[in-house]
Amino acid sequence: MNTKIQDKTLGYLLNEITEHGTNTEQVVMERVLGCFRKLRKGLTNMEIKEKGLNVYSKRGVSFVELVKEGTNRNLISSEIVVRGEGGKIKELKRTKEGIDFLRKFYTDNYSVNFMEFNKQVNALFKKHGELGLDPKQIEYLYWRGDHPVSEIEKTYINNPYDSEHENEVVEFHEYLSGIKNENLKDDEFIFHFAPKLFLPEEWFHAPVRLEIEGITIQNTVVLNRPYPNKRYVVAGFEKDNGIISHGFYWIKNKEELINNRVQIKLNWFVGKRKKITHKIDLSFQFGEHKGKLFSNDQSLRRNTKLKQFEIKTDVSKVNLYEDEFLFCDQADLTHFPMEKHSYFAADYNMDRWESRKRKEMVKQNNINEVYYNILSSAELNWEDKNKALIEEFMKKGDANFKNHGGDYGACFDVNFSHHISKEIDEAWLFDKVIEFAKKYKITEFEMWKKYGEGGLYEIGFGIYLEGSLDNPTIKLREVYLGSLADWNLSWNE
């Protein structure tokens, strides 16, 4: 093949090799061919060649040739990865040169138009006192062409869909810390530090103890394992009634943080002989943007130019036969808005807190009815037989089957309501599921609950049935909203 491969063609290839996600050669090929197929729609052969879109599966420039060109120009690299049962798969990666090449592709080689767009975007975030976007994200949005500055403002600054979750994060941080953001003085900030240990599988059941040096802890240190992955151990203190904080909180003034590094030593003891020492040296950086929170888990819910990281003690890959380990970390923390903290995901302590809040809301609003929904979606079920059954009963016109449209499509859908006093025992729901499973042979369901007639169902989880339907085992698939603490059910697994 003697066709010269254009730079823009390589740019499309590099765009489909993602920073996160699956980049096996087969998957990237499917993405690349699909991308060019879409871009060619409505264009003449001449326009296709001029735009560098002549990459096909059977003619023109092939995917293999495109990858070879990228490799020869040191834009991409590949490695063979061994998967289960000894299978080998080739994965593609962008090199540093490839990343630089892609950034020039996105920005038309940093054209005048891009520089003006970049200037406007940065001015927008400065005007609102918000953390600016990562420069790479601005470059990508410019290339996409569907995010003018007004749209960027809606998406990243004034997005109404973010507010409910953001308010929950702030409220839970304030509940744990006992510190109200609004009561802080201009020169006061919150320093949040959460010691976290990640154990190897072999040490999973060993008892763990922690001693902290270098910073004063006002409360008794409590270790808990708040995630579904119980290899994570997190230190905090007991807030109340079984809710454990995710770390510790201090109010610090700006002058104190600027002039003093914080040096913390964590001494983790695992089992009878293992000791892990983790020395952490922290400094504090200030910017013009809003935000009163410093955290050793500097993870944000949206893209920003701020470096994102989490400092934790990871011993998952150490030599198991050694008894003492030393880790050292040094980091510069930057303040950010508490509501943007990407935190508490899958933490059962927050689930418990939310569950108690809901119950308090029910009392305060004198709600006396609880509503339930048992659902099974043809579109979202995993088993093809369940999908086929639902579609069959839809055609028959069975009253328990409805078309929800959207993601759910055809569904088995039954509603119930009871006086709130009946909520104390919800075992009847599982009896109903088994009854419906026997009648319709469907084995996948979603369970939903809400308080009061109006509004959406706000608590829900998915289940599936195993074994004979005469005496099935009910298995939890996933909690969608709320937590299992919101239900009065016992499991037979």
Residue 140 has pLDDT above 70, yes or no: yes
The pLDDT of residue 359: 87
The pLDDT of residue 144: 95
Q: What does the pLDDT average to over 447-451? A: 95
180-220: pLDDT as tens digits:
999 999 999 999 999 999 999 999 999 999 999 999 998 99
pLDDT band at 1 (very low <50, low <70, confident <90, very high): very low
pLDDT band at 492 (very low <50, low <70, confident <90, very high): low
Residue 54 has pLDDT above 50, yes or no: yes
> Residue 433 in contact with residue 442, Cβ under 8 Å?
no
Residue 353: closest CA among 460, 228, 483: 483
Residue 85 has pLDDT above 80, yes or no: no
d(CA 493, CA 184): 48
Q: What does the pLDDT average to over 108-127? A: 98
Residue written as token pair 């839970």:
172
Least confidently predicted of 187-196, 227-236, 449-458: 449-458
The pLDDT of residue 326: 98
The residues, ordered by sequence, that sit 6+ positions from 185 with a Cβ below 8 Å of its Cβ are 253
Q: What does the pLDDT average to over 139-144? A: 97
323-376: pLDDT as tens digits:
999 999 999 999 999 999 999 988 989 988 988 888 898 899 999 999 999 999
Q: What percent of the chain has pLDDT over 90?
A: 85
Q: What does the pLDDT average to over 432-461? A: 94
The pLDDT of residue 104: 98
Q: Which CATH number fits domain 7-104: 1.10.10.10, 3.40.80.10, 3.20.20.80, 3.40.630.40?
A: 1.10.10.10
The pLDDT of residue 2: 54
The pLDDT of residue 3: 66
Q: What does the pLDDT average to over 110-137? A: 98
Residue 481 has pLDDT above 90, yes or no: no
pLDDT band at 457 (very low <50, low <70, confident <90, very high): confident
d(CA 489, CA 278): 42
**DSSP collapsed to 3 states, the chain:** CCCCCCHHHHHHHHHHCCCCCCCEHHHHHHHHHHHHHHHHCCCCHHHHHHCCCCECCCCEECHHHHHHHHHHCCCEEEEEEECHHHCEEEEEEECHHHHHHHHHHHCCCCCHHHHHHHHHHHHHHHHCCCCCCCHHHHHHHHHHCCCCHHHHHHHHHCCHHHHHHHHHHHHHHHHHHCCCHHHCCCCEEEEEECCEEECCHHHCCCCEEEEEECCCCCCCCEEECCCCCCCEEEEECEEECCEECCCEEEEEEHHHHHHCCEEEEEEEEECCCEEEEEEEEEEEECCCCCCCEEECEECECCCCCCCCEECCEECCCCCCCCCEEEEEEEEEEECECHHHECCCCCCHHHHHHHHHHHHHHHHHCCCCEEEEEEEEECCCCCCHHHHHHHHHHHHHCCCCEEECCCCCCEEEEEEEEEEHHHHHCCHHHHHHHHHHHHHHCCCEEEEEEEECCCCCCCEEEEEEEECCCCCCEEEEEEEEECCHHHCCCCCCC
- Residue 267 pairs in a beta bridge with 211, 277
For 168-177, which contacts have Cβ atoms below 8 Å and span 24 or more sequence positions?
168/354, 169/338, 169/339, 169/341, 169/343, 169/344, 170/338, 170/339, 172/344, 172/350, 172/353, 173/293, 173/338, 173/341, 173/343, 175/239, 175/353, 176/236, 176/239, 176/245, 176/246, 176/249, 177/245, 177/249
The pLDDT of residue 272: 95
Task: Provide the residue count of the chain.
Answer: 493
241-271: pLDDT as tens digits:
889 999 999 999 999 999 899 999 999 999 9
Cα of 8 vs its chain's centroid, Å: 32
**pLDDT, mean over the chain:** 94
Q: 346 vs 117, which has greater pLDDT?
A: 117
Residue 427 has pLDDT above 50, yes or no: yes
